[in-house]
Amino acid sequence: MRWGRLAAENYRGALVPRGLGLWLAACAAASTIVVAGVQRVGAEGWGTLGAVLLVGAAGLVDDLFPVGPRGLRNHLRYLLAGHVSTGVLKLLVAVGASAALVALQPRRGVAFEFAGVVLIAASTNLWNGLDVAPGRALKAFLPVAAVVLLVWPPIVRLPFMPGLAVGAAVALPFDVRERAMLGDGGSNLLGFAAGAGLYAVLPDWGVVWSAVVAVGLNVLADTVTLSRLIQAFPPLRWVDSLGRLDRPG
């Protein structure tokens, strides 16, 4: 089957379709519809779904019609030179969607809401940086989703999360075995959802510290690279390689 623009070379040079982002978006939408059939999902629930889908769509545009360099620093340099890249547009969409999602949640105070916007937007870009090896972004998302679903009862505020968690679990074997991959559309959607979940479940001080950590990891991803950090810690290296075709040993 020919995938056209949806197909891309992965880190080993194999041509793989970037279709998992569409699958995850469908799971998020289906989850919201199912939750709405059981409980009342108000503007905050439908609005958060809209924010998730918008971020995923922005990532898909960057997948299909990339304009400009790769990497956050290079995108900012490109912008300072008077050019607008699809990466910068994707970042602006992520920040705007993060602000909208935080505004739809219960009030927490301006400082903590600002930290929430930073956390969600930084997580969106962080998961984009994780998606450079099969299964890595999904492996990072699933524990976050599990904690959110176990700790946070009022699921009508993030009704996309149950279906997205199930969809991510189903997608993992396809990603890790290089049958399909997330692309920016899928990784950005996961990162945004992870940040939104952390904002919902963490206390105010936890939101602030998580925002600091997320920004710090973005800086490391753009300098040292996350792959080097993962390779430096044996437990992370083992989890990262689990199930992959090129797993050592």
pLDDT at 1 (0 to 100): 46
pLDDT (tens digit per residue) in 50-105 = 999 999 999 998 888 766 556 556 556 655 655 556 677 888 899 999 999 999 99
Distances (CA, A) of 134 to 125, 161, 197: 17, 22, 23
- Taking alpha carbons only, the member of 63, 174, 188 closest to residue 123 is 188
**Least reliable range by pLDDT among 8-12, 78-82, 107-111, 182-186:** 78-82
Residue 172 scores a pLDDT above 70: yes
Higher pLDDT, 182 or 67: 182
- Return contacts of 206-213, CB within 8 angstroms, 24+ apart: 207/108, 207/112, 207/115, 207/116, 207/119, 208/111, 208/112, 208/115, 210/119, 211/115, 211/116, 211/118, 211/119, 211/122
Name residue, tokens 């753009």: 222
Residues 6+ apart with CB under 8 A from 74: 68
* Rounded CA separation 188/195 (Å): 11
Q: Where do we find the tokens 């971020």?
A: 55
Q: What tokens appear for 92 in the block?
A: 């602006």
pLDDT at 249: 42
Closest CA to 27 of 123, 209, 169: 169
How high does pLDDT run on average in the chain?
A: 88
Exposure string for 63-75, b = 16+ CB within 10 A, e = fewer? bbeeebeeebeeb
Residue found by looking up tokens 């996309």 in the block: 160
pLDDT of residue 31: 96
Mean pLDDT lowest among 6-15, 64-73, 141-150, 195-204: 64-73
